[in-house]
Amino acid sequence: MSSSVASQQLAQRRGDYGFDAPYVPIIFLCVGLAVIVLGLLAFWLWQSPLWGIICLLYGVYMLLSGASYIYTTRRGKFQVWAELFVGLNLRGDEQILDMGCGRGAVLLMAAHFLNEGKATGVDIWSTSDQSGNAREVTLKNAEREGVAKKVELYTADMRELPFANGTFDLVMSSLAIHNISQREGRDKTLEEAVRVLKPGGRLIIADIRVTKRYAEHLRKLGMTDVSHQLLDWRFWYGAPWVMTNLVKANKPL
Ligand SMILES: C[S@@+](CC[C@H](N)C(=O)[O-])C[C@H]1O[C@@H](n2cnc3c(N)ncnc32)[C@H](O)[C@@H]1O
């Protein structure tokens, strides 16, 4: 099977993965519609074509941002992660950790690659960060995907992971670390990720906002092959302010 066929098959999901930060697309769509109405009023009521055009352009831009957000959270992020997993060439016996796994979009995809290995998810199950977020929902999704036996879930804060040093071959996180508002907390999360990785283990983070800072901190922590790259439009939550970046790093042997 070619890698593009494999990633397309993986992106077809049987679980129900909700919406990331569901209030955000609602804000995009409401602001877009309101500004378009203002634009129409500016044309016809206030006879101001300049403001009319500015408002219409801004309104359409906000609607497109809302559409991009919904596409990413429902479809695009699955396609991108499926391609990333295919590129990781997993053996199947790995211990994998997903920090901020939510309803399991990435965690359960990882579990599809495992036979003897285990996919472990930690989360605090915040429903403002993901709609309908709950441990039971993730367990149900694991059953629907047919991977429940390979999955373990913990209710824990990623700043204090409940695992011994050197437990995991792969630590990953998707759109979760930015939810920690303080820089110290995000740094602590990266330190925890490095701590629980086995020597030679891999770290892969997809996130928005301060991802260059993640790469810098990982270098300070002694991680090697640290890379930072912009992911494509399928993983954008409305451009240009919420484009997702990928940070990869390895723990030295
Ligand atoms: C936008 S959701 C992404 C979920 C999942 N990774 C995905 O891609 O579908 C962010 C997740 O991070 C979790 N989260 C936020 N802060 C956390 C923390 N300090 N420790 C563990 N999980 C956290 C939220 O509960 C939520 O499930």
In a 3-state reduction of DSSP, which class is residue 240?
Answer: coil
Nearest CA to ligand 1 atom 9: 105
CB-based contacts of 233: which residues, under 8 Å, 6+ apart? 68, 76, 239
CB-based contacts of 220: which residues, under 8 Å, 6+ apart? none
DSSP 231: -
155: exposed, middle or buried (C-beta count within 10 Å: 0-12, 13-18, 19+)? exposed
Instruction: Taking the CA atoms of 133, 134, 135 and 136 in sequence, report the sign of the dihedral they define.
Output: negative
pLDDT of residue 11: 66
Beta bridge partners of 168: 197
Ligand 1 center from residue 155 Cα (angstroms): 11
pLDDT of residue 1: 47
Give the predicted TM-score (pTM) of the model.
0.93
Pocket of ligand 1 (CB under 6 A): 17, 20-21, 100-102, 105-106, 122-126, 129-130, 133, 157-159, 174-176, 179-180
Going residue by residue through the chain (253 aa), what tens digit of pLDDT does each one get?
456 656 666 767 899 999 999 999 999 999 999 999 999 999 989 889 999 999 999 999 999 999 999 999 999 999 999 999 999 999 999 999 999 999 999 999 999 999 999 999 999 999 999 999 999 999 999 999 999 999 999 999 999 999 999 999 999 999 999 999 999 999 999 999 999 999 999 999 999 999 999 999 999 999 999 999 999 999 999 877 799 999 999 999 9
Nearest CA to ligand 1 atom 14: 100
Query: Counting atoms of ligand 1 from 1, which one is nearest the CA of 105?
Result: 9
Query: Counting atoms of ligand 1 from 1, which one is nearest the CA of 20?
Result: 1
pLDDT of residue 121: 98
What is the C-alpha to C-alpha distance for residues 57 and 40, in angstroms, rounded to an integer? 11
Residue to substitute in 130, 159, 187 for testing ligand 1 pocket (most ligand atoms within 8 angstroms of CB): 130
Q: Per CATH, is 90-250 categorized as 3.40.190.90?
A: no
118-123, strands of its sheet edge to edge = 151-155, 118-123, 95-99, 168-174, 197-207, 245-250, 224-230
* Alpha helices (runs of H) in the chain, residue ranges in sequence order: 3-11, 23-44, 49-71, 77-88, 107-111, 135-144, 183-196, 211-220
pLDDT tens digit sequence for 197-228: 999 999 999 999 999 999 999 999 999 999 99
Q: Which of these, 182, 170, 184, lies nearest to 249 by C-alpha position?
A: 170
Q: Which two tokens stand for residue 154?
A: 């913990």
